[in-house]
């Protein structure tokens, strides 16, 4: 048996390196405005920033992206999954179903009591994550696995050393930077103060294809509903 030629060795090395390359990912992201039942579905390449997502959310909801401050937050605050509507508390099936869908909870064929149980389970999980976050931040549990983050527009970041969470700039921060994965939920607030509060769910991910090359955040689906005109 003879040794492989230098060219053959180089080909094998190149093949081995290629097999170890992780394919670029495309994330399916659902953005829901629970208080008015608006939903938008996006495909977001891992190379896109959270600022890119912000711009597409504004376009999809017919907003001026430069008019108001915005922020992302992880983990999702418990209050974001409260059963509420424009006129106050709502526990009807449509509202609960919408919130379950916003949080990635299967709803097909489920009855209202089961949907409420599912939503309560989401809230309990969020409460657990928040406890773990604060325990880790304040040294009560150095092994707490969850890390919280806060993302704002770089131009208007407060950089307050007393902020509860570390703050990152939206123009440089990507989903891969904050290690979000399918099933994770985060909070997006547009017009801070007026508080248009959204649930952002990472639904799935897939390998990028040649057709995805060069594309940014893409709107895939919309139910057409948004906040009412002021």
The predicted-structure confidence for 147-187, as pLDDT tens digits, reads as follows: 778 888 887 766 554 455 668 889 989 988 878 889 999 99
Q: Does 7 score more than 90 pLDDT?
A: no
Written as six digits, the tokens of 91 are 């526990």
Is position 131 within any domain?
A: yes
Strands 185-190 and 70-74: antiparallel
Instruction: Considering only residues 119 and 193, tell me which one the structure prediction assigns the higher pLDDT.
Output: 119
| Surface-to-core class of residue 2, CB atoms within 10 Å of its CB (0-12 exposed, 13-18 middle, 19+ buried) | exposed
Would 122 be classed as within a structural domain? yes
What gap in Å lies between CA 34 and CA 198, rounded to an integer? 7
Containing domain of residue 94, as a range?
A: 24-222
Asked if residue 191 has pLDDT above 50, the reply is yes
What are the tens digits of pLDDT across the range 78-106?
A: 888 876 655 556 678 888 899 999 999 99
Determine the pLDDT at residue 23: 85
Structural domain includes residue 19: no
Q: Determine phi and psi for 70, rounding to 5 degrees.
A: -145, 165
- Residue 14 placed within a domain: no
Q: How many structural domains compose the chain?
A: 1
Are 180 and 28 in contact by the 8 Å Cβ rule? The answer is no
pLDDT of residue 148: 78
Residue 54's pLDDT is what?
Answer: 95
CA atoms within 13 Å, Cβ hemisphere of 140: 7
Predicted TM-score of the model (pTM)? 0.82
Residue 69 φ then ψ, to 5°: -70, 155
Name the helix (H) or strand (E) containing 43. Answer: strand 38-45
Per-position b or e across 7-23, b if 16+ CB within 10 A of its CB: eeeeeeeeeeeeeeeee
Q: Are 42 and 31 in contact (CB under 8 A)?
A: yes
- Please report the pLDDT score of residue 18 as a whole number: 46
- Relative to beta strand 167-169, strand 149-152 is parallel
In a domain, 128, yes or no: yes
Does some domain include residue 13? no
Average pLDDT, the chain: 82
What residues does 41 pair with on adjacent strands?
A: 30, 221
Q: For 115, which DSSP code?
A: H
Is residue 229 very low, low, confident or very high in pLDDT (cuts 50, 70, 90)? low
Q: Tokens 């950089």 map to which residue?
A: 159
Q: Averaging pLDDT over each range in 45-59, 123-137, 178-192, which range is the top one?
A: 45-59
Residues 6+ apart with CB under 8 A from 114: none
Q: Is residue 10 part of a domain?
A: no
Q: Is 5 part of any domain?
A: no
CATH number for the domain that contains residue 55: 3.10.290
Classify 99 as helix, strand or coil: helix
Question: How far is it, in rounded angstroms, from Cα 30 to Cα 101?
Answer: 9
């Amino acid at each position: 048996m003879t040794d492989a030629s230098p060219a053959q060795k180089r080909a094998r090395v190149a093949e081995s390196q290629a097999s170890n390359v992780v394919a670029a990912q495309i994330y399916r992201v659902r953005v829901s405005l629970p208080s008015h039942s608006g939903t938008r579905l996006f495909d977001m390449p891992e190379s896109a920033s959270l600022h890119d997502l912000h711009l597409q959310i504004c376009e999809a909801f017919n907003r001026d992206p430069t008019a108001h401050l915005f922020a992302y937050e992880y983990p999702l605050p418990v209050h974001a999954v409260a059963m509420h509507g424009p006129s106050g508390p709502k526990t009807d099936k449509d509202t609960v179903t919408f919130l379950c869908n916003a949080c990635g909870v299967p709803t097909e064929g489920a009855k209202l009591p089961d949907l409420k149980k599912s939503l309560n389970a989401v809230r309990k999980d969020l409460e657990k994550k928040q406890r773990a976050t604060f325990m880790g931040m304040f040294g009560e549990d150095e092994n707490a696995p969850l890390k919280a983050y806060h993302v704002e527009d770089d131009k208007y970041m407060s950089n307050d050393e007393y902020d509860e969470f570390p703050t990152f700039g939206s123009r440089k921060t990507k989903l891969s930077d904050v290690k979000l994965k399918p099933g994770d939920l985060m909070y997006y607030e547009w017009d801070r103060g007026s508080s248009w509060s959204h649930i952002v769910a990472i639904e799935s991910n897939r390998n990028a294809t040649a057709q995805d090359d060069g594309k940014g955040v893409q709107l895939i689906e919309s139910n057409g509903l948004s906040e009412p005109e002021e």
